[in-house]
């Protein structure tokens, strides 16, 4: 192969005071953003806010007027643009496919230019088609105009993955699809995202898509970056009106204050509760039989302890009882304010709490499930 990837892993992508203007209008103004290796960073904002411009400065389709874009610490200007782009996957909305090439021609274009032999290209194309859930046999030889919008979008993704780039740039990849297909592709993408293990910068208009796919979300407005954070941060600590408008917290979370823990908890079966003095080895058998990942015990102090299955395994034959290995667990009354409960969970760095109805445990509260339920 005549070509070596410029990087095999992304440690970080840094944009530092990057500015780009057209005439006297800023497309991107003094923008600072760091994308961490392995995360999926969403860029979201109104039309014309500079998302595409930001994205394209990463693979040098657009050169900034000032500021610096670096990947793993190296300024992208020091890379040959052609080699840089071959090391980065790029997916766009709509007509991303070249109409004169069939599916394998499109996916294999760069491989061919890289001098791969025909058989190897075919093999790789099949592999990629399988990956995006299209049977290679019936799709390889089709032309783009013989494909549905969703199929075209999958091919677009497959093509971006051809060289196995560690970084993917995606500009509203699902933007042109109808809502149903869109959801479908988002779900699939959610699954393959983990398999891919790539760093992804993803532009979207759709806040639901952003929260569904994004590890972190960067909100842009008027050529500037307004706020970057996890979905929870944006929802609970919007830095200004615009952010709360975009994440729609006004409308959707207006009644957060009124919601009780009970409204968002997962109900809990009494089978989860074990005797505190039960030896670990017996508990292990019980848990495995019942298919439990986690169990709870009432402690003498009146508090409740949590015992994950892996802790039970670790304790093994040491003769320890469940009381000895249980971890403390946050407990909320069922009629506590949901908002306060979530805030406390966050402060403690916990993702789960037990909900009590009176004296009885009635449910579990998972912070991530709550967010998903709300969005």
Partner 1 sequence: MWNGGCLSEIPIINDVLTEVQRVWDTQLLSLRTLEHLYMFTIALFVSILIGIAVGVLIYRSPKLADPVLNGLNVVETIPDVALLVLLLPIFGIGAGPTVAASILYSILPITRNTYTGLANVPREYVEIAEALGLNPGEVLMRVRFPLALPLIAGGIRIAVVFTMGVVTLGGLIAAGGLGAALQNGIQLYDMGTILVTGAWVGLLAVILDGGAGVIENRLKVRYGTWS
Q: Which is nearer to ligand ATP, 50 or 231 (CB)?
A: 50
CA–CA–CA angle 220, 224, 227 (5° rounding):
50
Q: Does 115 bind partner 1 (CB under 8 A)?
A: no
> Which stretch, 90-98, 175-183, 230-238, 364-372, contacts partner 1 (CB under 8 A)?
90-98
Q: Report, in Å, the least distance between residue 226 CB and ligand ATP.
A: 13
Q: Which of 40, 53, 86, 332 binds ligand ATP (CB under 6 A)?
A: 53
Q: Does 52 bind Mg ion (CB under 5 A)?
A: yes
> Which stretch, 7-15, 44-52, 298-306, 314-322, contacts ligand ATP (CB under 6 A)?
44-52
Q: Does 53 bind Mg ion (CB under 5 A)?
A: no
Q: Which of 7, 79, 116, 143 binds partner 1 (CB under 8 A)?
A: 143
Q: Report, in Å, the least distance between residue 24 CB and ligand ATP.
A: 11
> Which stretch, 43-51, 66-74, 193-201, 355-363, contacts ligand ATP (CB under 6 A)?
43-51
Q: Report, in Å, the least distance between residue 256 CB and Mg ion.
A: 32
What residue 306 binds from partner 1, Mg ion, ligand ATP, none (CB within 5 to 8 A, per partner kind)?
none
Q: Which is nearer to partner 1, 6 or 213 (CB)?
A: 6
Whole-angstrom CA distances from 162 to 13, 121, 123, 255 are: 21, 9, 11, 47
Number of residues written out for the chain: 375
Q: Does 51 bind ligand ATP (CB under 6 A)?
A: yes
Whole-angstrom CA distances from 312 to 251, 292, 317, 321, 329 are: 44, 11, 10, 9, 16
Burial class, 269, CB count within 10 angstroms (exposed 0-12 / middle 13-18 / buried 19+):
exposed
What residue 82 binds from Mg ion, ligand ATP, partner 1, none (CB within 5 to 8 A, per partner kind)?
partner 1
Structure tokens at 271: 């089978």
Q: Does 52 bind ligand ATP (CB under 6 A)?
A: yes
Pairing of strands 360-366, 352-357: antiparallel
Q: Which is nearer to ligand ATP, 21 or 230 (CB)?
A: 21
Structure tokens at 309: 């299955």
Q: Report, in Å, the least distance between residue 150 CB and partner 1.
A: 17
CA distance 14 to 32: 8
Q: Which is nearer to Mg ion, 52 or 102 (CB)?
A: 52
Q: Does 31 bind partner 1 (CB under 8 A)?
A: no
Q: Which of 145, 194, 241, 291 binds partner 1 (CB under 8 A)?
A: 145
Here's the x/- map for ligand ATP, 128-167, by CB under 6 A: it reads as ----------------------------------------
Q: Which is nearer to ligand ATP, 31 or 355 (CB)?
A: 31
CA distance 142 to 273: 58
How big is the chain by its Cα radius of gyration, in Å?
Answer: 25
Per CB under 8 A, residues contacting partner 1 are 56, 59, 61, 82-87, 90, 92, 94-96, 98-101, 109-110, 113, 143-146, 159
Per CB under 6 A, residues contacting ligand ATP are 22, 27, 45, 47-53
């Amino acid at each position: 192969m005549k070509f070596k990837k410029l990087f095999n892993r992304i440690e970080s992508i840094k944009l530092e005071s990057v500015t780009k203007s057209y005439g006297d209008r800023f497309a991107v103004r003094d923008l600072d953003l760091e994308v961490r290796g392995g995360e999926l960073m969403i860029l979201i904002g109104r039309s014309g806010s500079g998302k595409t411009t930001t994205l394209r400065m990463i693979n040098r389709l657009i050169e900034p007027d000032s500021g610096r874009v670096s990947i793993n610490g190296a300024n992208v200007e020091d890379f040959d643009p052609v080699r840089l782009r071959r090391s980065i996957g790029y997916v766009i909305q709509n007509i991303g496919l070249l109409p004169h090439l069939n599916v394998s021609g499109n996916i294999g274009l760069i491989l061919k230019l890289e001098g791969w032999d025909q058989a190897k290209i075919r093999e790789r194309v099949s592999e990629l088609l399988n990956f995006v859930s299209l049977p290679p046999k019936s799709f390889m030889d089709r032309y783009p105009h013989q494909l549905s919008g969703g199929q075209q979008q999958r091919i677009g993704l497959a093509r971006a993955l051809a060289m196995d780039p560690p970084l993917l740039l995606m500009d509203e990849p699902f933007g042109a699809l109808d809502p149903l297909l869109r959801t479908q592709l988002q779900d699939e993408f959610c699954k393959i995202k983990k398999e891919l293990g790539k760093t992804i910068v993803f532009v979207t208009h759709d806040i639901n898509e952003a929260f569904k796919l994004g590890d972190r979300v960067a909100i842009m407005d008027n050529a500037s970056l307004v706020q970057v954070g996890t979905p929870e941060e944006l929802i609970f600590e919007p830095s200004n009106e615009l952010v709360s408008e975009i994440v729609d917290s006004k409308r959707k979370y207006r009644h957060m204050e009124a919601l009780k823990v009970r409204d968002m908890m997962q109900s809990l079966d009494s089978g989860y509760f074990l005797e505190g003095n039960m030896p670990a080895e017996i508990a292990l058998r019980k848990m495995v039989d019942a298919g439990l990942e986690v169990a709870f015990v009432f402690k003498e102090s009146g508090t409740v302890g949590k015992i994950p299955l892996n802790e039970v395994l670790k304790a093994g034959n040491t003769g320890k009882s469940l009381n000895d290995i249980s971890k403390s667990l946050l407990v909320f009354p069922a009629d506590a304010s949901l908002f306060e409960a979530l805030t406390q969970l966050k402060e403690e760095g916990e993702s789960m709490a037990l909900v009590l109805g009176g004296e009885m445990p009635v449910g579990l509260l998972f912070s991530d499930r709550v967010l998903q339920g709300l969005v």
